């Protein structure tokens, strides 16, 4: 049953996603591909919308995927699933176990989780870059370069690097999304 | 009761005006609940941030739940969390209703092909930013490199292996390294300190 599946899948994602929005993307990608809910390209579209609207990216993604698969009830259950673990853990921590965080064991666990999470985010980006812009989805695929995509990627690297050099802070993601939208209309017409 | 609804509406306001996820929201929460309403003191607020960073789930949810609980126990936690997600839920639901039709317009589809490039770039950038903040010890670097290579290789060979397992393996390795250091007491002290300093996770 799709409702139960959405709820349980997002419950699982919510329970193991340490470190906020982007940490959830590799997990979300795995589950959505495995369930056949989204393709890589659709996933990126959804991330773009989630990033450009208010609210936590992870929650927005859950609402979006839930709604696309099973309407309003699907959206509600996926959203509930993704926030429930954080809600329960936080209530337990403030209510009873506030000291747990300072335990060395907890910190030791996090010292292994953090590099794994960063590695997963990096590899998700690398895998999507390869499959969408170079055409290599699995080993042995012949490369079919999407030159405009690769050029646009290089352009974005340059723009954000220059912005950081000149303004001394990171460029707004929403601005990059808008800029790429305009570039897309020109490049992919 | 009045406090609960005040909490609900304040959280809705924060949920409506936070773009770009957790860390943007932390500054809004601080401004609203520590500086303006004084429902929390600065130290408690820092505890909240530490909890939000070291527990699973979106930072904004951890934050809203924590502050809600502090203000009015369990009902407060529920009102705070519901408040913070409601605005984005409504907005995303409305967008999702017409998104596929919107994408079938030719120039919109072209725009989104460009936007997909930007999103891959943003994910790369997030990974690099988090890597910079990671405390780099031989242990964390080994886990980082091993997981990166394994995740890319498994995907290229089309072997299904959920990222969930990598997170759990990371947790187990962290715990093992700590226990190992405890057993080799004198040698382990240094490693233990580094593990405690542990870098911050988190997204923009």
Domain limits, chain A: 2-133, 146-189
| Three-state DSSP class for residue A134 | helix
Decide if B192 contacts B181 (C-beta within 8 A): yes
**Tokens (6 digits) for A50:** 């989630």
Mean pLDDT of B12-34: 77
In chain B, % of residues over pLDDT 90: 33
**pLDDT for res B196:** 45
Under 8 Å between Cβ of B96 and A165: no
Q: Report the mean per-residue pLDDT for chain B.
A: 83
What string of DSSP letters covers B120-153? Answer: HHHHHHHHHHHHHHS---HHHHHHHHHHHHHHHH
* Interchain CB contact of A138 with B (< 8 Å): yes
| Low pLDDT (below 70) residues in chain A | 19-20, 97-102
Contact A138 B22 (CB under 8 A): no
Q: What sign does the dihedral B159-B165-B166-B167 (CA atoms) show?
A: positive
Contact B117 A180 (CB under 8 A): yes
User: In angstroms, what CA-CA distances link B195 with A19, A114, B22, B47, B198?
Assistant: 17, 11, 24, 19, 5
| CA nearest to A130 within chain B | B156
Name the phi and psi angles at B105, rounded to 5.
-70, 130
pLDDT at position B198:
43
Nearest chain A residue (CA) to B100: A68
Return the pLDDT at B194: 47
- ipTM of the prediction: 0.84
Say if residue B201's pLDDT is above 70.
Answer: no
- Residue A58: phi and psi, rounded to 5, are -65, -40
Domain chopping of chain B, boundaries: 2-103, 135-197
Q: In whole angstroms, what is the distance from residue A69 CA to residue B26 CA?
A: 32
Smallest CA–CA separation between B150 and chain A, in Å? Answer: 9
Query: Of the candidates A147, A66, A1, which has an alpha carbon nearest to the alpha carbon of residue B117?
Result: A147
């Amino acid at each position: 049953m799709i409702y139960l599946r959405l709820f349980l899948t997002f419950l699982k994602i919510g329970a193991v996603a340490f470190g906020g929005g982007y940490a959830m993307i590799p997990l979300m990608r795995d589950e959505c591909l495995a369930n056949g809910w989204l393709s890589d390209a659709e996933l990126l579209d959804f991330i773009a919308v989630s990033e450009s609207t208010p609210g936590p990216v992870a929650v927005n993604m859950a609402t979006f995927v839930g709604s696309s698969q099973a309407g309003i009830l699907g959206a509600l259950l996926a959203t509930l699933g993704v926030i429930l673990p954080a809600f329960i853990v936080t209530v337990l921590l403030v209510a009873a176990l506030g000291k747990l965080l300072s335990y060395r064991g907890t910190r030791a666990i996090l010292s292994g989780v953090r590099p794994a999470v960063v590695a997963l985010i990096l590899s998700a980006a690398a895998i999507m870059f390869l499959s969408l812009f170079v055409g290599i989805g699995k080993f042995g695929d012949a490369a079919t370069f999407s030159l405009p995509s690769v050029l646009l990627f290089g352009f974005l690297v340059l723009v954000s690097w220059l912005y950081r050099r000149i303004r001394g802070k990171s460029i707004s993601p929403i601005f990059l999304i808008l800029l790429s939208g305009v570039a897309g209309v020109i490049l992919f017409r | 009761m009045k406090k609960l609804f005040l909490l609900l509406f304040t959280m809705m306001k924060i949920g409506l005006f936070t773009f770009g996820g957790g860390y943007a929201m932390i500054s809004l929460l601080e401004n609203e609940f520590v500086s303006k309403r004084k429902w929390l003191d600065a130290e408690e607020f820092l505890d909240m941030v530490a909890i939000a960073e070291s527990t699973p789930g979106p930072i904004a949810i951890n934050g809203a739940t924590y502050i809600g609980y502090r203000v009015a126990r369990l009902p407060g936690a529920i009102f705070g969390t519901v408040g913070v997600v409601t605005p984005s839920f409504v907005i995303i639901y409305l967008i999702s209703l017409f998104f596929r039709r919107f994408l079938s317009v030719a120039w919109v589809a072209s725009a989104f092909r460009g936007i997909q490039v930007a999103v891959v770039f943003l994910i790369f950038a997030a990974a690099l930013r988090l890597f910079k903040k990671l405390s780099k010890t031989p242990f964390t670097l080994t886990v980082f490199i091993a997981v990166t290579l394994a995740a890319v290789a498994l995907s290229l060979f089309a072997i299904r292996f959920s990222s969930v397992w990598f997170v759990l393996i990371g947790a187990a390795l962290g715990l093992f390294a700590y226990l190992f250091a405890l057993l080799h007491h004198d040698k382990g002290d240094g490693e233990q300190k580094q593990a405690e300093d542990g870098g911050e996770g988190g997204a923009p």
